[in-house]
């Protein structure tokens, strides 16, 4: 049976490092202590003024292609998950395809907020499973949220960061690949956090700019236990589908806006933190990019190997949730 095997990963982050002390200065209070003790973010990367989402994607894609030992002209499809696109239209993926010279690749963007990379991974795997014309697919998660931050809003400016990362999937019949996936949405929370200006509901006008609709906003505070409860339930369900238990999973890659949510989820499952990789400490919260960034770091540190079973689960504005189990 045809399946989609992960054969390479890579990442790129901007060179501009923003330490917590930066916010102490601009906000005139000690936020460094809170960030270190509560979310374990110590620094993050932000784009330069002349750096954009497509720039991040191109740099990440070049590393991924090199690590996967795949020629750019062999790519059949490029899927970019982002909610900070290069333009409203056309797609960021079309820009990246041109810059890479991926002349044989189709393209599209996917916006499922911070659950987007896992959603795109699911979509890409199913393309390969369903259609023999797709052999190599590049899946990228990209985030340039610094472009949408109100520098005086403590709730957002201290957490969010920029980066791009991803994987290449290859058609494979060895038994490796995606074993199970699930998407879940709780749309009743769609008005609680987001960037609400610039679309057809609130086009960019003087009024919307004055209201800050073009910037990221936390409108309401989410229930503290929301992520850990939904993640753990999804993980249990995914495992049951393929006759596994959470203990059979070799490594977990989970949304990293709050390390406590990860700990709570693994506690519910009876799993130790040694089975996950956290990267928020030096990279901040990189939205669609954080899960493949964590995966790439785990590869680099030899924490996972061929034959392992790994689980990806993300959540983001919408609220959208996506989970997938892969055999490497």
Q: Would you state the pLDDT for residue 300?
A: 95
φ, ψ of residue 69 to 5 degrees: the values are 55, 45
Encoded tokens for 123: 């979509």
Round to whole Å and give the CA distance between 128 and 116: 18
Residues 261-306: pLDDT tens digits?
Answer: 999 999 999 999 999 999 999 999 999 999 999 999 999 999 999 9
For 141, the 3-state DSSP assignment is strand
pLDDT class of 15 with cuts at 50, 70, 90: very high
pLDDT at 213 over 90: no
pLDDT at 227 over 80: yes
pLDDT at 209 over 70: no
Domain segments of the chain: what residues?
3-174, 179-327
pLDDT at 96 over 70: yes
* Residue in 317, 324, 258 with CA at minimum distance from that of residue 288: 317
Range of lowest pLDDT (126-140, 220-234, 264-278)? 220-234
Same fold yes or no, 3-174 and 179-327: yes
Q: Would you state the pLDDT for residue 202?
A: 79
DSSP run (H or E) holding 299:
helix 290-300
Percent of the chain with pLDDT over 70: 98
Encoded tokens for 155: 């709730």
pLDDT at 210 over 90: no
- Is 101 or 203 the better-scoring residue by pLDDT? 101
Q: Would you state the pLDDT for residue 105?
A: 98
This prediction's pTM: 0.94
pLDDT at 211 over 70: no
Residues 16-30: pLDDT tens digits?
Answer: 999 999 999 999 999
Q: Would you state the pLDDT for residue 122?
A: 97
Strands (E), 111-250: 136-144, 162-172, 177-185, 193-194, 217-218
Whether domain 3-174 has CATH 3.40.47.10: yes
Whether domain 179-327 has CATH 3.40.47.10: yes
Residues 182-199: pLDDT tens digits?
Answer: 999 999 988 888 888 888
User: What b/e readout covers 237-251, taking b as 16+ CB neighbours within 10 angstroms?
Assistant: ebbeeeebebeebbb
* Residue in 13, 75, 102, 133 with CA at minimum distance from that of residue 94: 102
Q: Would you state the pLDDT for residue 9?
A: 98
> Average pLDDT, whole number, for the chain?
94
């Amino acid at each position: 049976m045809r399946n989609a095997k992960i054969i390479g990963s890579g990442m790129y982050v901007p060179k501009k490092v923003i330490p917590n002390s930066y916010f102490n200065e601009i906000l005139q209070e000690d936020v460094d202590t809170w960030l270190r003790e509560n979310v374990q973010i110590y620094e993050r990367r932000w784009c330069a003024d002349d750096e954009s989402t497509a720039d991040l994607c191109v740099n990440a894609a070049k590393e991924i292609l090199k690590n996967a030992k795949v020629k750019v002209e062999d790519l059949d499809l490029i899927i970019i998950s982002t909610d900070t696109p290069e333009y409203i239209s056309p797609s960021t993926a079309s820009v990246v395809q041109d810059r890479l010279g991926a002349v044989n690749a189709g393209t599209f963007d996917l916006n499922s907020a911070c659950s987007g990379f896992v959603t795109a991974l699911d979509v890409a795997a199913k393309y390969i499973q369903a259609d023999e014309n797709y052999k190599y697919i590049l899946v990228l998660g990209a985030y340039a949220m610094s472009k949408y931050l109100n520098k005086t809003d403590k709730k957002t400016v201290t957490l969010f960061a920029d980066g791009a990362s991803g994987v290449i999937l290859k058609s494979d019949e060895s038994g490796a690949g995606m074993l199970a996936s699930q998407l879940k949405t709780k749309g009743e929370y769609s008005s609680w956090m987001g960037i609400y200006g610039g679309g057809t509901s609130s086009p960019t006008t003087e009024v919307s700019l004055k209201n800050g609709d073009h910037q990221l906003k936390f409108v309401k505070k989410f229930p503290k236990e929301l992520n850990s409860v939904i993640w753990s339930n999804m993980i249990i369900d995914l495992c049951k589908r393929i006759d596994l238990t959470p203990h059979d999973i070799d490594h977990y890659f989970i949304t990293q806006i709050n390390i406590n949510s990860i700990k709570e989820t693994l506690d519910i499952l009876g799993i130790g933190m040694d089975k996950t990789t956290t990267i928020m400490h030096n990279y901040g919260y990189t939205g669609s990019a954080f899960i493949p960034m964590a995966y790439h770091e785990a590869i680099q540190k030899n924490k996972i190997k061929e034959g392992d079973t790994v689980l990806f689960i993300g959540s983001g504005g919408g609220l959208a949730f996506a989970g997938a189990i892969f055999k490497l």
